[in-house]
Amino acid sequence: MNAAFRIPGAGRLRQATASFSFDDKSYVGIDGDTLASALLANGVHLVGRSFKYHRPRGFLSAGAEEPNALVQIVRDDARKTPNVRATVQELYDGLTAHSQNRWPSLAFDVGAVNDIASPLFSAGFYYKTFMWPKSAWKNLYEPKIRAAAGLGVSPDRPDPDHYAARYAHCEVLVLGGGAAGIAAALAAAETGVRVILADEQAEFGGSLRFESGAKIEGEDGFAWAQGAIAKLKAMDNVHVLPRTTAFGYYAQNFVGLVERVSDHLKSPGRELARERLWQVRARRVVLATGAIERHMVFADNDRPGIMLASAARTYLNHYGVAVGRNVGVYTANDSAYAAAIDLKKAGVNVAAIVDLRDNPTGPVIDEARALGIEINFGRAVIRAGGKLRVSSMTVQPKNGGGERTIPVDAILMSAGWTPSVHLFSQSRGKVAFNEETRRFVPGTYAQDCVSVGACNGTDGLAATIDEAYAAGAKAAKDAGGRAGKSAKPKVDASESWSRGMLGAAPGAGPDTTVKAFVDFQNDVTAKDIRQAVHEGMHSIEHVKRFTTNGMATDQGKTSNMHGLAIAAETLGKPIPQVGLTTFRAPYTPVTFGSIVGHARGALFDPTRRTAIHPWAAAQGAVFEDVGQWKRAWYFPKAGEDMHAAVDRECVTVRKVAGLFDASTLGKIEVVGPDAAKFMELLYTNPWEKLEPGRCRYGIMLREDGFIYDDGVVGRLAPDRFHVTTTTGGAPRVMHHMEDYLQTEFPHLNVWLTSITEQWAVIAVQGPKSRDIIAPLVEGIDMSDEALPHMSVREGKICGVPTRLFRMSFTGERGFEVNVPADYGEAVWEALWAEGQKHGTCAYGTETMHVLRAEKGYIIVGQDTDGTVTPNDAGLDWAVGKKKTDFVGIRGMARADLVAKGRKQLVGLKTKDPKVVLEEGAQIVDDPKQAIPMKMIGHVTSSYWSENCGRSIALALVAGGRDRMGQTLYVPMPNGTIEVEVTGMVFVDEKGEHLNG
Amino acid sequence: MLLIRCPYCEEERPELEFRNAGEAHIARSTNIAGESDDDFEKFFFIRSNPKGVIYERWRHIHGCARFFNAVRDTVTDKFVMTYKAGEPKPAKLPGASK
Amino acid sequence: MAKAAAKTKVVEASVERRPALAGRALSAPGVKVEMLPPAERISLRAPQASLAALSKALGLTLPTKPKTSAAKGGRTALWLGPDEWLVIDEAGNDPLADCAKVSALHSAVGISHRNVAISVTGPAAAVTVNSGCPQDLSLGAFPVGTASRTILGKAEIVLLRSAEDTFRVECWRSFSDYVFTLLSEAASDAAN
């Protein structure tokens, strides 16, 4: 069954039908249609409402430049894509589309009142109207405007599709698969280099889709293109990418492409990505992006049925669709004649050709005349009739005179062709204005690329293929290709046109107030542009923003040149002096999905888990995120909440023992004869005299004298240290150490190796810790004499190698058992089994935090914030007094860092022991002072301590150590909390538990 | 994404493998503890932040892991050249326009 | 308490080794992604003057050209930097012990458990790795034997092309889930 406007025998589509719906009405199209061609085949021109005035709109184009025909494609509840260009969307059986920006229906849209009230909505309307009163902006204007604005409806569910990404490299990247791009790719491919050829359309051929007069190698141009593509696809060194838009051209020939993988399929398999992002690095880029036809700027030129002449030709010659039965043509150059001729030959009545030019001559004009088409030279279409569909065109001699109205059901227009210099411009190339042909073409190149064909201002198929083939061959040769055999395609017949006009046509001049649209998508008229200039916008960039000309999804592909010409005319300046607005990526809209690619869900960011993680998960541990790590936070037993679990864990560790997974701690092995010298320079402490087998708590500063990191360091041998860092600090500490080693102390014979992940670390802490470990250890004397606090031994545990540290971050007797990571979980299980004999527990990071706070051990990054010196933190004892150099030694001596009254770390006890302070809460010394109060410090750590039976806190307080015993105040929203300044140790002040 | 020539890997590699490490050729004093406030200020706080050619340190952190020096134009964001850490500031830049 | 000295005891028990993602594999058209078995590994750092002695001890010539590797008898040395090599032994021999006999200046640190290896094999292997690795992996630019530390998505990897259609991807243990998942997703897309 044929749709009413499908012409039997015309076009190239096979007759496999596809049914689809638009605004809930069913239609039938043909496999290979776009949504646009399928709708036109059914006589549907009205497909949308404009953004501002809600004017009825149809199809302007047959390609990516489409400003009007934006629809919502709905696959299911989660797949509702707004702002899809119907001219690009390929039809599939069952496709469901809806029009946008209309209510209650497309034909009757209440918002169209904006059109009647349009004098209110002229250029700069928003800026002028919603200025006062200021408060109304936030509460009234913005919400109302936001509700009314926007095109389409964004989906409200997570995107169920997936998106792929890949990096690719090639010698020659050809962008655009028309005659020029194909010729360039053929030439480059012959040389054997890697070639990628991309085109945004489903089928290659570009303007050969509609140029019925093109003959190459004895074939119809489009047929030749398909043959050439088949040949290219068969070559190992060529990658042919249809449905692929080059959206951004970045530094050093890095080009972003989006390949639409499955949007054209009826029911894409789950294995198929929806889109694939290609990030291509090319030695040479050939730009063969073609040209875009311009519309004529005249009154009511936006009525459905009025479209670009080349679009009508494409619908006819490729899709076999007549865009009307009685069409008018309005042109300022030759190319529309070819459309009139093709349509006439297909049996469509051409009511009249209206040509602005006075007495043009040429073969197409002769042919049109010979076909009996009425031609009117020197005349203008001053108005289009009709509303939901064009019904007539009113013609007048261009210098004024009698009007004549001609009934039509479509108007094909052409003001000439604009070279697509978008990607060239994005490459930072500078365009140059050609006065003779009135167009911007590539001028100065900034990267290793070359423009060929229509985008380079080259007219005519033979000249295009000559240029493109030569450029493709040269690009390949420059990129290292061998000389290929020349097989330049021979052009037998071609079409050629140039010139045309820029700006408003007669009847839409400065003395008029008609709605002659320059930018359809943003409802910008010629009058708006003039008004912008009159109101003081003299830069084209200001005109753009004031009028919104050239903005939104189509980025002014059809409107920029007209807008520029009108602005230039109004300014009384030549076009090159006014200049083009900057072309920015993306060329056409790019989905967030394709930019995100694989990086969502589990792949959004690496989730790092320790070797012991599965055991903890099986025990029901609750995990917290620490950077990329998942760390066991606490281990609740049945019925326990977090507080109950943490209280139990805290008490168990001090009474018996606990096991803690400390594997995430950063670990660096420092090896070499100068290892100790290096440690002396990177840490405040002295290291030379630390004996092998002993450990020391080290502090690392930045050059500014502030604490950067800390950790326990064990000396395994004279030339080997096992350094630990904070979990979060591991990568940057390594970077910091490498920086000094490589660039300041390169004379030192020492090397750094990250061993964070080599060793799983099981902290066993508590009075029973040795009893738990000892039965499993071989080769290490575990006595206090042989293995005192702060020592390290290498031996075996459970038969696997271990670095056994005797150290404590709880204040209790403690060990950290390092075993190779793959053994971590099994050794943990063995220790756990041993621990069960004593009633031990597993504890998480929360308990670890509480236990260390009970002992006043700081956590770098919690109790310090990058402005805390060792002295501030009460750690002067860890700074080697006799040392003459270490990183931070000079910074630490700066006047401000040794001044009195600095914030110092102290303990805080609330007067009411049940009250737990909030971390980050501010501290004042007089709660009755006027607001804003003088804040003298803040709480850095605060916990309920079940072991102390009260709350405990650490705080940075100005002059804190001189305030021992003082009462300070923490003002909170529901009352002021009284606190007493104390020392930082809340449990076992004498440190007896370390050997307990 | 830029390509940056690593002088140790002897080839251009993608920017993702690199990390900037601030201005180059600012030597840490061998007697830093004895430096005057002014000298320490110059060493630690003052950077040239030029419009145009800048000498920087970069690290091929996800490659050979070496720090090296680079000359970059802050206006065009183009690398003029790169050279190994410890090598002197080049007396003349290739293709220098100013 | 517990003043009584604990005595050093000989312990029989040997516990189970549980490598990360052991046995995980994914097959897609044109490519297979699978976890490789554990191997012995060291991070070797040394100045030029020590290379002869270390090469002799390791039984292979340490490569000095950027991005290259040398393999012999189940042992591979990958050039990672001008004084840095990743030595992987898949034959069950211990390169750490071999280096321990060398008195020439060097640093050898055992990292057998730090790294895990994933193999990506098949005609679509390069495309799979290129889903997250920005380097040119064509045979011209990255021939067999090429080794490089680089990036895969948001993780650091060491990449070795061990055959025309085979890559060995080494990453740190805790990144293996991310790297394997990314390679799996990419593998499913690679042949499309």
What single-letter amino acid sits at B76?
Answer: T
Q: How far apart are CA A531 and CA A520, in angstroms?
A: 17
Per-residue pLDDT band for A403 (boundaries 50, 70, 90) equals very high
Helix-strand-coil split of chain A, %, nearest 5: 25, 30, 45
Residues of A in contact with C154 (CB under 8 A): 599, 605-606
Estimate the crossing angle of helix A335-345 against helix A363-370, to 10 degrees: 30
Q: How far apart are CA A317 and CA A209, in angstroms?
A: 7
Per-residue pLDDT band for A148 (boundaries 50, 70, 90) equals low
What single-letter amino acid sits at A332?
Answer: A
| Residue A918, C-beta contacts closer than 8 angstroms, at least 6 positions apart | A939, A942, A972
Residues of B in contact with C84 (CB under 8 A): 64-65
Q: Does C50 touch chain B (CB under 8 A)?
A: no
Range B3-84: architecture per CATH = 2-Layer Sandwich (3.30)
Q: Is A970 exposed, middle or buried (0-12, 13-18, 19+ CB in 10 A)?
A: buried
Phi, psi torsion values for A716, nearest 5 degrees? -85, -30
The B residues from 63 to 92 touching A (CB cutoff 8 Å) are 65-67, 77-78, 85-86
Whether pLDDT at C12 is above 60: no
| Closest residue to A704, CB basis, from B3, B32, B44 | B44
Residue with tokens 């003959």: A215
Q: Is A375 helix (H, G, I), strand (E, B) or coil?
A: strand
| Section A209-219 average pLDDT | 94
* Alpha carbon A484 to chain centroid, angstroms: 40
Q: Does B38 touch chain A (CB under 8 A)?
A: no
Q: Is A135 exposed, middle or buried (0-12, 13-18, 19+ CB in 10 A)?
A: exposed
DSSP state of A911: S
Q: Return the H-helix or E-strand segment holding C35.
A: strand C31-35
- What is the pLDDT at residue C7? 30
Contact C42, C109 (CB under 8 A): yes
Q: Return the H-helix or E-strand segment holding C134.
A: none
Whether pLDDT at C4 is above 70: no
- What is the pLDDT at residue C13? 45
Per-residue pLDDT band for A145 (boundaries 50, 70, 90) equals low
- What is the pLDDT at residue C2? 39
Residues of A in contact with B57 (CB under 8 A): 743
| Residue A930, C-beta contacts closer than 8 angstroms, at least 6 positions apart | none
The yes/no answer on whether domain A163-291+419-493 falls in CATH 3.50.50.60 is yes
Neighbouring CB atoms inside 10 A of A427's CB total: 24
**CATH C-level class of A17-119:** alpha beta
Whether pLDDT at A1 is above 50: no
Q: Closest by alpha carbon to C136, among A391, A481, A171?
A: A171
- What is the pLDDT at residue A136? 67
Per-residue pLDDT band for A134 (boundaries 50, 70, 90) equals low
Written as tens digits, the pLDDT of chain B (98 aa) is 999 999 999 999 999 999 999 999 999 999 999 999 999 999 999 999 999 999 999 999 999 999 999 999 999 999 999 999 999 999 999 875 54
Return left, alpha or beta for B90; rule: phi > 0 is left, psi -120 to 50 is alpha, else beta.
Answer: beta
- What is the pLDDT at residue C11? 39
- What is the pLDDT at residue C1? 38
Residues of C in contact with A759 (CB under 8 A): 113
Whether pLDDT at A129 is above 80: no
- What is the pLDDT at residue C10? 34
Q: Interface pTM (ipTM) of the complex? A: 0.97
Percent of chain A with pLDDT over 70: 96
Domains A661-852 and A856-995 in one fold: yes
Tokens of A639: 């019925």
Residue with tokens 């936001």: A146
Estimate the crossing angle of helix A526-534 against helix A540-547, to 10 degrees: 120
Residue in A with minimal Cα distance to B66: A742
- What is the pLDDT at residue A269? 87
| Closest residue to A777, CB basis, from C9, C20, C115 | C9
Domain-located, residue C6: no
Q: Closest by alpha carbon to B62, among C119, A739, C158?
A: C158
Whether pLDDT at A138 is above 70: no
Average pLDDT along chain A: 94
Q: Where are the domains of chain A?
A: 17-119, 163-291+419-493, 661-852, 856-995
| Closest residue to A749, CB basis, from C105, C113, C135 | C105
Q: Closest by alpha carbon to A613, among A668, A664, A684?
A: A664
Q: Closest by alpha carbon to A286, among A117, A466, A423?
A: A423
pLDDT in tens, A787-817: 999 999 999 999 999 999 999 999 999 999 9
Contact A486, A473 (CB under 8 A): yes
Q: How far apart are CA C113 and CA C38, in angstroms?
A: 8
Contact B10 C66 (CB under 8 A): yes
- What is the pLDDT at residue A552? 81
Which of A1-15, A920-934, B10-24, C145-159 has the least mean pLDDT? A1-15
| Section C42-47 average pLDDT | 98
| Section A310-332 average pLDDT | 97
| Section C94-107 average pLDDT | 97
Q: Is A64 exposed, middle or buried (0-12, 13-18, 19+ CB in 10 A)?
A: middle
pLDDT in tens, C71-93: 999 999 999 999 999 999 999 99
Per-residue pLDDT band for C3 (boundaries 50, 70, 90) equals very low
Average pLDDT along chain C: 93
pLDDT in tens, A821-836: 999 999 999 999 999 9
Assign a CATH topology to domain A856-995: Gyrase A; domain 2 (3.30.1360)
Q: Catalogue the long-range contacts made by A9-13 (C-beta closer than 8 Å, 24 or more residues apart).
A: A9/A320, A10/A316, A10/A317, A10/A320, A10/A321, A10/A322, A10/A346, A11/A316, A11/A317, A11/A318, A11/A319, A11/A320, A11/A321, A12/A222, A12/A317, A12/A318, A12/A319, A12/A320, A13/A318, A13/A319, A13/A320
Domain span including residue C149:
25-190
- What is the pLDDT at residue A132? 61
- What is the pLDDT at residue A327? 98
Contact C66 B9 (CB under 8 A): yes
Q: Taking the model in full, what pTM does it have?
A: 0.94
Q: What is the CATH number of the domain that holds C155?
A: 3.30.1360.120
| Closest residue to C81, CB basis, from B8, B11, B13 | B8
| Closest residue to A669, CB basis, from C6, C83, C109 | C109
Pairing between β-strand A967-972 and β-strand A975-982 as defined by DSSP bridges: antiparallel
B vs C, Cβ pairs < 8 A, gives 39
Q: Is A980 exposed, middle or buried (0-12, 13-18, 19+ CB in 10 A)?
A: middle
Residue in A with minimal Cα distance to B3: A252
CATH number attached to the domain at A661-852 = 3.30.1360.120
Whether pLDDT at C19 is above 50: yes
Contact A557, A576 (CB under 8 A): no
pLDDT in tens, A590-605: 999 999 999 999 999 9
Whether pLDDT at A553 is above 60: yes
pLDDT in tens, A698-743: 999 999 999 999 999 999 999 999 999 999 999 999 999 999 999 9
The Cβ-side half-sphere exposure at A466, using a 13 Å CA radius, reads 9
Q: Does C3 touch chain A (CB under 8 A)?
A: yes
Three-state SS string over B9-20 comes to CCEEEEHHHCEE
Which of A51-60, A424-433, A604-613, A658-667 has the least mean pLDDT? A51-60
| Residue B48, C-beta contacts closer than 8 angstroms, at least 6 positions apart | B23, B54
| Section A368-374 average pLDDT | 97
- What is the pLDDT at residue C8? 33
Q: Give the closest-approach CA distance of C37 to chain A in angstroms.
A: 12
